[in-house]
Amino acid sequence: MTRLAPAKVNIFLKITGIRGAYHELRSRFVRVDSLCDTLKFIKKERKSDRFELLCSTPLPERNSVSESYRLLKELKPQVELFFKEYAVLLKKSIPMGAGLGGGSSDAAAFLNLCNDVCDLGLSKDELARIGESVGADVPFFVYGYASANVEGVGEKIEPFDDEPLDLKLFTPPIHCDTGAVYRCFRDRFGDKIAKDSAREWLDVSSTKLMQSLKPLEANDLYAPSLLLYPELEEHSSNSRFFSGSGSTFFEKR
């Protein structure tokens, strides 16, 4: 009862609108199979009513896995019975606050594994709808696509037939607060939001995009991240792209 939870990078990420407290985007997500968390269900020493999440890295009490459990058990009560006997063991390899979607991938791995082990019979679409309430990136990981164009607040996902990428990732020891980066974007760059931004990039391969785009133009969250975390500048270059709200840079090998 084990599931790998891979990382992702954003080849491009453009903010296309604001929906209440959320930001609409248009982005190319690419799965990174060389970097994964590992999620397991293990037998408890004795039964208990408490949902147990054992993690190699300290997590807040309310986290993506515990939220996924809370939502799933409301829909499928048998899940609660299962976790009276089993605990979740999560080994973190994906850095947190790095723009790699680790928490979202963990949530998706949990949902998919529960669906299999507890024989819930939920479709990928149903699991993705649960995942939407946990985090905008969760649906992408639920579907397991290698590459996809993602729009809206993460709920519009179209698989993209992309050529495989061999990427080199570099994550400096800087924890970027996603919420703070988005707020900074809204406050400082909100007047530059364009609904049709990057629409023409949706049909272009990731390789060609990385050859033709500059890192700063590819990701709308790069500039606000630099404002909040100016030390990122020390690790930037014209060949290194910036994933999500940071702090990971990536380039083709």
Enter the DSSP assignment of 72.
H
* Residue 20: pLDDT over 90: no
* Residue 206: pLDDT over 90: yes
Residue with tokens 């999440």: 53
Q: Do 130 and 185 fall into the same domain?
A: no
Q: Do 185 and 128 fall into the same domain?
A: no
Q: Do 136 and 17 fall into the same domain?
A: yes
What 3-state class would DSSP assign to 150?
Answer: strand
Q: Which of 126, 159, 192 is the last residue of a domain?
A: 159
Q: Residue 55: which CATH number?
A: 3.30.230.10
C-alpha–C-alpha distance, residues 213 and 249, integer Å: 15
pLDDT band at 26 (very low <50, low <70, confident <90, very high): very high
User: Is residue 131 a contact partner of residue 105, using CB atoms and an 8 Å limit?
Assistant: no
| Residue closest to 174 by CA, chosen among 225, 112, 102, 140 | 225
Q: Do 18 and 129 fall into the same domain?
A: yes
N-term to C-term CA, the chain: 34
Q: Give the active site residue among 8, 14, 76, 92.
A: 8
Q: Do 85 and 184 fall into the same domain?
A: no
Number of domains in the chain: 2
| Per-residue pLDDT, 46 | 92
Q: Do 115 and 184 fall into the same domain?
A: no
Q: Which domain holds residue 15?
A: 2-159
The one-letter amino acid at 145: Y
Q: Which of 103, 126, 159 is the last residue of a domain?
A: 159
Q: Do 116 and 173 fall into the same domain?
A: no
Q: Do 92 and 215 fall into the same domain?
A: no
Q: Do 147 and 197 fall into the same domain?
A: no
Residue with tokens 């790095």: 98
* Residue 234: pLDDT over 90: yes
Q: Do 110 and 129 fall into the same domain?
A: yes
Q: Do 153 and 83 fall into the same domain?
A: yes
For 11-22, the DSSP string reads EEEEEEEEETTE
Whole-model pTM: value is: 0.95
C-alpha–C-alpha distance, residues 160 and 30, integer Å: 9
Q: Residue 219: which CATH number?
A: 3.30.70.890
Is residue 137 part of the annotated active site? The answer reads: yes
What 3-state class would DSSP assign to 189?
Answer: helix
What's the mean pLDDT when you consider all of the chain?
96
Q: What is the CA radius of gyration of the chain?
A: 18
Q: Which of 130, 159, 188 is the last residue of a domain?
A: 159
Q: Give the active site residue among 14, 76, 106, 137.
A: 137
State the CB neighbour count (10 A cutoff) for residue 73: 17
* Residue 30: pLDDT over 90: yes
Q: Do 155 and 184 fall into the same domain?
A: no
